[in-house]
A and B are shown apart, each in its own frame.
Chain A
Amino acid sequence: MSVTRNIALAAVLVMAGAVPVRAASEADFKAAFSAAEAAEKQADQLRNKWTTTESELATAKKAAASGDFDAAIAAAKEAEALAQASIYQATSEKTRWKDLEIR
């Protein structure tokens, strides 16, 4: 490999490293958190909130307060997924509970 090629390759690598990866912003967190809260509100209306969803929401808030928006978004997304699962559970159990009944 020629010296020129090596220099060019090194330059490309340095440039690639220099391109900043966009850090998660407060706005990104707010969007993720509000989606999670909306889902949890729906679970509440179905009287079927999960303790784990509440705990992830609290974790997200705490991480955001300390400025760690990456962790805050991850927790908010986890909270939303858990809330969606609790909504699914409450909805499907409207008829499925009968399968367990002693007859």
Chain B
Amino acid sequence: MRKAFSLASILVLALLASARADEKPNPAADQKAFQTYFIKKFPKVKYEDFVNGPYSMDEGLHKQWEEKEQFPPYEFAVETGKEMFTTPFKNGKSYADCFANKGIGIRQNYPYFDEKEGKVITLELALNRCREANGEAPYNYLKDEMASLTAYMAFTSRGQKMDIKIPGDPRALEAYENGKRYFYTRRGQLNFSCATCHVQSPGEHIRAEVLAPALGIMNAMPIYRSEWSGMGTTSRRFLTCNSQTRAVPLEPQSDEYRDLEYYLSYVSNGLPISGPGARP
């Protein structure tokens, strides 16, 4: 009897495992499950508030955020970014010539999948490509000028709902799946995945930091972090997350990070752009 029961259990487990392996990618279902998970986990948090990261997690932190927004630390970056954005390149052209709607109010459409290239194009990558196409040297992906430019572009898009598309190209679906795999894969000596902090433990403390929920995490980029005493881009955030788990970070804008941004942005579709943000 016992033997038969064990055998049946093994068969059920094997069937479950094979069913999982056969599952077809379904980004729309993923997005629904992802958002529902956070909404159920934090029933008191307003849907739109998830974009405020740790500041959405409790009343006290939310109050801190409201006070911070009176004199936001990212303000200088927005002003610098605006000046940079509107200053023409040496050839007379400007950033506005490289983007739809002259680059205003378009943050919610990045990253996108470029079917010609077969890869994900992030806003940071598009900005440097724009510079290079106009004879200018690319910027460092992590901070300073890149953070200011993306801060300004995010600021002009505030309130727009994240709207990432996955076209019918199988390579787009592959990029999305690669991003998802990267998000859930444990790495570094501490054996942490992105999800360990931002799915399993948002709202909890890790040392002095309050962890942000993964839902809406991209909507606030770039961010001013008190810990950095300055602005940082999405690239900077990914790199520092990796090194905090004792993993050697990849190159900024590597395929893995671009795919990760694609996945994380897609599952936050429908939430407003709140960038640039401020974080502890």
Binding between chains A and B: yes
Q: Which residues of B contact A101 (CB under 8 A)?
A: 180, 184
Stretch in B104-112, B116-124, B244-252 touching the partner: B244-252
Name the interface residues of B163-207: CB closer than 8 Å to any CB of A.
180-181, 184-189, 191, 193, 195-196, 199-200
Name the interface residues of A85-103: CB closer than 8 Å to any CB of B.
85-86, 89-90, 93, 96-98, 100-103
**A93 close to B186 (CB less than 8 A):** yes
**A100 close to B195 (CB less than 8 A):** yes
**A103 close to B33 (CB less than 8 A):** yes
Residue A84 CB within 8 A of the other chain: no
**B184 close to A50 (CB less than 8 A):** no
Q: Mind listing 13 A-B residue pairs with CB under 8 Å? A: A47-B256, A49-B247, A50-B188, A51-B247, A51-B248, A52-B189, A54-B248, A82-B189, A89-B191, A90-B187, A93-B186, A101-B184, A102-B33
Q: Which residues of A contact B188 (CB under 8 A)?
A: 50-51
Closest CB-CB distance, A75 to chain B, in whole Å? 16
* A49-B243 Cα distance, complex, nearest whole Å: 10
Interface of A is mostly: helix
Known A-B contacts A98-B20, A100-B193, A103-B33; A51 and B246 likewise in contact (beta carbons under 8 Å): yes
Q: Which residues of A contact B184 (CB under 8 A)?
A: 97-98, 100-101
Name the interface residues of A44-103: CB closer than 8 Å to any CB of B.
47-52, 54, 82, 85-86, 89-90, 93, 96-98, 100-103
Q: Which residue of B lies closest to A96 (CB)?
A: B186
Q: Which residues of A contact B195 (CB under 8 A)?
A: 100
**A102 close to B186 (CB less than 8 A):** no
B30, B34, B184, B256: which has the most chain A beta carbons within 10 Å?
A: B184
* A97-B196 Cα distance, complex, nearest whole Å: 11
Q: Which residues of B contact A51 (CB under 8 A)?
A: 188-189, 243, 246-248
**B256 close to A97 (CB less than 8 A):** no
Residue B89 CB within 8 A of the other chain: no
B contact set with A: CB distance below 8 Å: 20, 30, 33-34, 37, 180-181, 184-189, 191, 193, 195-196, 199-200, 243, 246-248, 250, 256
Q: Which residues of B contact A96 (CB under 8 A)?
A: 186
- By the criterion of a CB under 8 Å from any partner CB, how many residues of chain A are at the interface? 20
* A34-B196 Cα distance, complex, nearest whole Å: 34
Q: Which 8 A-B pairs have the closest CB atoms?
A: A49-B248, A97-B184, A97-B185, A100-B184, A102-B37, A93-B185, A51-B246, A50-B189
Q: Which residues of B contact A93 (CB under 8 A)?
A: 185-187
Closest CB-CB distance, B19 to chain A, in whole Å? 12
* A49-B188 Cα distance, complex, nearest whole Å: 7
Closest CB-CB distance, B13 to chain A, in whole Å? 13
* A20-B111 Cα distance, complex, nearest whole Å: 66
Closest CB-CB distance, B56 to chain A, in whole Å? 18
* A93-B187 Cα distance, complex, nearest whole Å: 8
Q: Which residue of B lies closest to A44 (CB)?
A: B248
Closest CB-CB distance, A45 to chain B, in whole Å? 13
Closest CB-CB distance, A79 to chain B, in whole Å? 12
